[in-house]
Chains A and B, each alone.
Chain A
Amino acid sequence: MKSKDRNYFKILRAGINTTYQDLGRNNLYHIGIPFSGAMDKRNFQLLNSLLQNDFNSPVIEFAYQGPHLKYFGKDIFFCISGNVSFKIITKDDVIDGNSYQCYLLKNGDEVDIHSTNKSVYGYFSINGTFGVDYYWGSCSINTQAQIGPNNGNKFSKDLEIEIIEINNSFNKRKLDYLGSTIENIRVIKGTNYDYFSESSQNKFFKESFKITKLSDRMGMRLEGPKIENVVDPNIKSEGLVKGVIQITSAGDPIIMLSDHGTIGGYPKIATVISADYDRLVQLTPGSNIKFKDVSLEDAETLYKLYQMETNNLISQIK
């Protein structure tokens, strides 16, 4: 491709953990490969809807501090989802951008994504398609197993992000949405719930736990009252799913997130319900959370309601 025909972003600053993500890869747990994919699926869906992209188009996910990008090429639109502070720097002006709103970029313009506000993950994409390689049907980067484009590594300075297609019939769109937060995380009791003393079971639901800094795309470590195991601190290693809360030998909860190890040997006290997962991953270290027990039937209904709410938001995009 001649350089004048290229459309691309150059990364001036990579941000803390910036990767390509889509909906992730299925049916690989048995060989040790987790789903991966965008941590916050609602914000992923909203972004692709705002940009009129295919529902599983690649987006750029960032955590805490996002990338600073400089654009080279013909006119393009971009949009950011999540609770994010960013600036658009053009030849004549610097403006503060709003999430869930599309902006025009011209050759030489920059987007500087300062930070996510009171949340962890944000998403960036364009009205078009990034040039990514697919591994097992997904472009999601799993840095732990080094799977995905960019050799499975997070983005680094000076990397160039190719755009292979721009949707020229695109019209600017926006959504009025302030995001959704949560303090009580609803869970279903786990398969090893009876491994824990009655007083610890009570504490698990009555007291609050603090999210520690040892949290990333693989898992979230919590700190709070010690959960006392009265049976065995280990189980025979078995499969995990995202949202599972294991209790370590030290008595602390650890929640499995999208890049988690596929099998584990700590007892499972509970599992976060699917309806609360997107909002769970957005909680920042230092936040306090409480767990609330719900039935399987309620969890299934709550998930349907959550999906309806997402679809309702998508229908409000104009």
Chain B
Amino acid sequence: MIKNILNLGDAALYCDFGSDVNQEINSNVIKFFYHIKKLNLKGITNLTPSYNKLIISYDLNIHSFLSLKKKIENIEIKENNKLEKNLIEIPVCCDNNFALDIKRVENKLKLKSEIILEKFFSKNYFCYMTGFVAGMPFLGDLNQEMRLKRLETPRVKVPKGSVGITEQFCNIYTFETPGGWNILGNTPQNIFDTSNQSNPNLVNPGDTIKFYRITLDQYNEIKR
């Protein structure tokens, strides 16, 4: 599954699973990630799965690059290992106050807003990875006709809960942060829960997300 292992600096392995972004390669990354995580190897300080890479950070006092690389290369996992997948439903309100970029998306995609939203909600999305900021899920894939680039100038502050799209992906802003995705709505649901230390992420790599549309009243009701 791993095509190549390089070093990223002097304290991390850079495991390359391929250059394409698709669910097959990503599922291999996620399976490998969960497998290594379960092994609980001494001196591994972080694992960062992404679309097609896995970065393994380690304690330089315990490992050197070559010895750890050998260890990781010798780990075999069954290709047919089933990946655990949860289906998670997430409410989204597309009221004008939340759909910050709907006009831009209409112009770029040359589609009416109702069609855009209908297409957006008609599909389930796969979680490729979480991160950048705590708990932010990177989901895909959007239909071909829904794909557009990010904002030319990123927003300094994207409101917490914003649901955005760019290229083949969508995501949910778990915190107020700078960002350049096209915002279509906002979820009242807490996607990252700091107080839940055993499982703070609502969405984890490998999960399937179903967004469903709610009214502003329903949004306020859930928020309350």
Write the nearest CB–CB distance from A189 to chain B, whole angstroms.
Answer: 10
Q: Which of A239-262 contact B (CB under 8 A)?
A: 239-241, 243-244, 261-262
Q: Which of B184-211 contact A (CB under 8 A)?
A: 192, 194, 197, 200-201, 204-205
Q: Is the CB of B10 within 8 A of A30?
A: no
With A and B bound together, what is the CA distance between A109 and B44 in angstroms? 44
B21 in the interface (beta carbon within 8 A): yes
Given contacts A32-B134, A146-B194, A263-B50, contact A241 B200 (CB under 8 A): no
Stretch in A5-13, A55-63, A177-185, A295-303 touching the partner: A295-303
Residues in chain A near residue B28, CB distance under 8 A: none
Given contacts A27-B45, A30-B33, contact A147 B134 (CB under 8 A): yes
B92 in the interface (beta carbon within 8 A): no
Stretch in A78-86, A223-231, A266-274, A285-293 touching the partner: A266-274
Given contacts A135-B197, A272-B9, contact A300 B65 (CB under 8 A): yes
Residues in chain B near residue A188, CB distance under 8 A: 7, 9-10
A190 in the interface (beta carbon within 8 A): yes
B4-31 to A contact mask, C-beta < 8 Å, 1/0: 0011111110100001010000000000
Residue among B10, B21, B132, B175 making CB contact with A236, cutoff 8 Å: B21
Q: Which of B54-75 contact A (CB under 8 A)?
A: 54-55, 57, 60-61, 64-65
Write the nearest CB–CB distance from B113 to chain A, whole angstroms.
Answer: 28
Residues in chain B near residue A272, CB distance under 8 A: 9
Residue among B11, B54, B175, B204 making CB contact with A241, cutoff 8 Å: B11
Q: Which of B8, B33, B57 has the most CB of A within 10 A?
A: B8
With A and B bound together, what is the CA distance between A244 and B12 in angstroms? 11
B216 in the interface (beta carbon within 8 A): no
Q: Is the CB of A274 within 8 A of B60?
A: yes
A159 in the interface (beta carbon within 8 A): no
Q: Is the CB of B197 within 8 A of A29?
A: no
Residue among A147, A239, A273 making CB contact with B50, cutoff 8 Å: A239
Given contacts A35-B46, A145-B134, A191-B14, contact A239 B60 (CB under 8 A): no
Residues in chain B near residue A146, CB distance under 8 A: 175, 194
Residue among B46, B47, B192, B194 making CB contact with A152, cutoff 8 Å: B194
Given contacts A31-B200, A146-B175, contact A264 B132 (CB under 8 A): yes
Write the nearest CB–CB distance from B95 to chain A, whole angstroms.
Answer: 26
A316 in the interface (beta carbon within 8 A): no
Q: Which of B82-138 contact A (CB under 8 A)?
A: 129-136, 138
Q: Is the CB of A32 within 8 A of B10?
A: no
Given contacts A135-B197, A145-B175, A261-B133, contact A271 B50 (CB under 8 A): no
Instruction: Tell me the nearest residue of chain B to A264, going by C-beta.
Output: B132
Write the nearest CB–CB distance from A242 to chain B, whole angstroms.
Answer: 9
Q: Is the CB of A190 within 8 A of B133?
A: no
Residues in chain B near residue A274, CB distance under 8 A: 9-11, 60
Q: Which of A152, A261, A263, A274 has the most CB of B within 10 A?
A: A263
Q: Is the CB of B135 within 8 A of A31?
A: yes
Given contacts A190-B8, A236-B51, A274-B60, contact A26 B134 (CB under 8 A): no
Q: Which of B129, B131, B192 has the most CB of A within 10 A?
A: B131
* Partner-A contacts on B (CB < 8 A): 6-12, 14, 19, 21, 33, 37, 44-55, 57, 60-61, 64-65, 129-136, 138, 174-175, 177, 192, 194, 197, 200-201, 204-205
